[in-house]
Structure formats: C-alpha cells, structure tokens
Homo-oligomer: A and B are copies of this chain.
Amino acid sequence: MPRTASGRSSLVEPLPHHISCDAIHVSFRADPAAIAAFLPPGLEPLETGDGWAMIAEMAKVSASAPDQAWENPARSTYNEGVVGFYCKFGDKVGRYSALVWVDRDWSMGMGPIFGWSKRLAQVDRSRLHAHNPGMVKAGPGAAAGGTVSRYGETVLRLSVQVPDDAQPMTALPGHAASTFLYRYIASPSPDVPDIEQLFELGLANTSMSTVWPGMGTVSFGTAEDEELSVLGDVTVTGGYLYQRGWTTSASARLLHDYGQDGR
C-alpha cells in the first residue's frame, strides 16, 4: 500500500526482489516447550529444539527497478535480525522465522504480505574490513558481533569468533529446508474475519559464500513486547560467518487457511 492508480506511491516495489546478506549466524537448541509458544497453531518444534539467530547487513535489488540499487541506496540496503526455529507441519519439516527486526519501513512493509513478523529496530553488526589496522577479515582469527536494540532494550546479541585454525565450509549444517510463513492480520470490522494463513515458501537463485565456522554466543533481552527471554539459556550448537543470496517471489504455496479450514 498505498495502491494509487499509478502504483508509484507503493511502499513495496513489485516482486521479485533479489536479496543478499552478510551474516553472523548462531545455531542453538532450546526447550521445545518454550519454542512451542512462538510457533503458529499446527506447527510443532523438533524434539531437538533446534533454532537459530542471525544478524546481517542486507541488500535488495528490485527486479522492476534494478538501477535503484545505485541511484537510491537508502531503498536498497537494510539491516536485519531474525530468531527462528525448525519445526514440523505434519510430516513436513521447515524453518519458521518467529521474530524479525529490520531498520527500513519498506522492508517492514513486506511483513503483512508474507507473514513475516517484522518490526523496526536498530540492527548493527561488526564490519570486518581487511584494511582496518585493528581487525582480521572474515576467516581464521576473525571476531564479529551483532545487536538488535529497540525502545531502550537490547533484545538480541550475537557473537561469532573464528579460531585461527578454522576450516572453511561450503554450506551451513542443517540448512536444507523450506520456509513456513504464518500470516496473521487482524480485522478492523465485525463484518470480515481475521486473516490467518500458513504458507510454504521456497527461494530461488540461492547461492552461498564460503562459510567460516566458529564459537558462537547468543543472548536475549526482555521488553514490554518482546518475550524471547522465556527461551532461557539455550545451548549453542554452532557459529558461522557467511554471505548468501536468493530471490524472493510471490510464489508461496498455501498449506492451511485457519479461517476456512479450522484452527
């Protein structure tokens, strides 16, 4: 929205969008009972309680306006933090991004379309510049961190330290799963129902840089409208630095419409 006749005032450009990230990623295990509170109805946590947190500097290229990437960088760069969990819908295993923080309104505007629970925050991660006299670039010996801050609380804090003898990887462990989307939009009227739908989304054109593994840390803050701290102390299973790219299209498949099919 808004949907004016010319389409020019639209907050979100038409899909598809080509997305990329320069990410700090920490995988962890938490109590499945605590995870369950974050999942949509019908999705169950894995017994292992696997989840992940990621903070990244991102880039977006709209296929409909490719020159925007250099003409208007404030509309083609953003920072993002995510906390998500692996889960099951019946037999189907997938990844569910339970909470997402971004720092641009045009990225937050994708939320109601795709069912990403996006809110605005200050999202920052270390920049590992090879030419900084005080830094080691991404690779053996590197240390990077990320924070998500919102309304006077640090709600997510990550770090990854790559040992001097780290061996590069070509993929993240456990990464091959599609994505569940849970789209809930309240109704303004007694005349129409709330929108509540579950989708499955695949990503196209995915590519991954070298993945550098290391020691990860993750901590969650608490705030009036952030409940991540109920996860308690989680067990870190890995820390990674990588860059990744993909294309997002309006190609989600409807798995369940709660309004029509029942909850």
Which A residues are closer than 8 A to B by beta carbons?
Answer: 1-6, 8-12, 18-22, 36-38, 40, 57-59, 61, 63, 66-77, 98-99, 105-106, 108-109, 111-115, 117, 119-120, 122, 124-135, 143-147, 149-155, 159, 161, 181-192, 195-197, 199, 201, 205, 207-209, 221, 224-227, 243-247, 250-254, 257
Residue of B111, B144, B257 touching A192 (CB-CB under 8 A): B257
Contacts of A111 in B (CB 8 A): 1, 112
Question: Looking at chain A's contact residues, is the secondary structure mostly helix, strand, loop, or mixed?
Answer: mixed
> B135 contacts A18, CB within 8 Å?
yes
A67 to B183, CA, bound (A): 30
Most interface-central of A63, A106, A114, A191 (chain B CB within 10 A): A191
The distance from the CB of A56 to the nearest CB of chain B, in whole angstroms, is 10
A205 to B221, CA, bound (A): 38
> A251 contacts B190, CB within 8 Å?
yes
Contacts of A8 in B (CB 8 A): 225-227
> B68 contacts A224, CB within 8 Å?
yes
> A189 contacts B20, CB within 8 Å?
no
> A69 contacts B135, CB within 8 Å?
yes
> A151 contacts B4, CB within 8 Å?
no
A183 to B189, CA, bound (A): 12
The distance from the CB of A3 to the nearest CB of chain B, in whole angstroms, is 4
State whether A209 and B130 are in contact (beta carbons under 8 Å apart), knowing that A68-B224, A124-B73, A199-B189 are contacts in the complex. yes
Contacts of A105 in B (CB 8 A): 108, 119-120
Contacts of A22 in B (CB 8 A): 127, 129
Most interface-central of A18, A20, A61, A134 (chain B CB within 10 A): A134
State whether A98 and B208 are in contact (beta carbons under 8 Å apart), knowing that A105-B120, A147-B74, A189-B199 are contacts in the complex. no
